[in-house]
Amino acid sequence: MSTPMRTDEHWANYNSRQAARPIRESCQRVLALAGPGAGRTAVDLGCGAGRETRAFLDAGWRVLALDGEPGTEARLLRTIGGRHAALTIKTSRFQDLYDLPPADLVHAGYSLPFQTRAEFDRVWTLIRSVLRPGGRVAVDLFGDRDSWAGDPNLTFLTEPEVRALFDGLTIERWEVEDEPGRAFSGPKHWHVFHVVAQRR
Ligand SMILES: C[S@@+](CC[C@H](N)C(=O)[O-])C[C@H]1O[C@@H](n2cnc3c(N)ncnc32)[C@H](O)[C@@H]1O
Ligand 1 centroid, distance to 40 Cα (angstroms): 23
pLDDT digit string (tens) for 47-73? 999 999 999 999 999 999 999 999 999
Q: What is the CB < 6 Å shell around ligand 1?
A: 11, 14-15, 18, 24, 46-48, 67-69, 93-95, 109-111, 114-115
Residue 123 pLDDT? 98
Please give the share of the chain, as a percent, with pLDDT higher than 70: 98
Q: Is residue 1 in a domain?
A: no
Read off the CATH number of the domain in which 39 is found.
Answer: 3.40.50.150
**Quick one: which atom of ligand 1 is closest to the CA of 94?**
20
- The atom number, within ligand 1, closest to the CA of 69 reads 25
The residue whose CA is least distant from atom 27 of ligand 1 is 48
Within a domain: residue 58?
yes
Least confident of 16-25, 27-36, 42-51, 154-163: 16-25
**Within 10 A of 86 (CB to CB), how many other CB atoms are there?**
14
Q: How many domains in the chain?
A: 1
Return the pLDDT at 4.
67
- Cβ–Cβ under 8 Å, residues 60 and 31: no
Q: CA-to-CA distance for 104 and 90, rounded, in angstroms?
A: 18
Instruction: Find the domain containing 174 and state its range.
Output: 8-199
Q: Is 2 within a domain? A: no
Q: Measured between alpha carbons, how far is 105 from 24 in angstroms, rounded to an integer?
A: 15
pLDDT of residue 2: 59
| pLDDT 10s digits, 85-135 | 999 999 999 999 999 999 999 999 999 999 999 999 999 999 999 999 999
Can you tell me the mean pLDDT for 21-50? 97
**CA separation for the pair 181, 178 (Å, rounded):** 9
What pLDDT sits at residue 92? 97
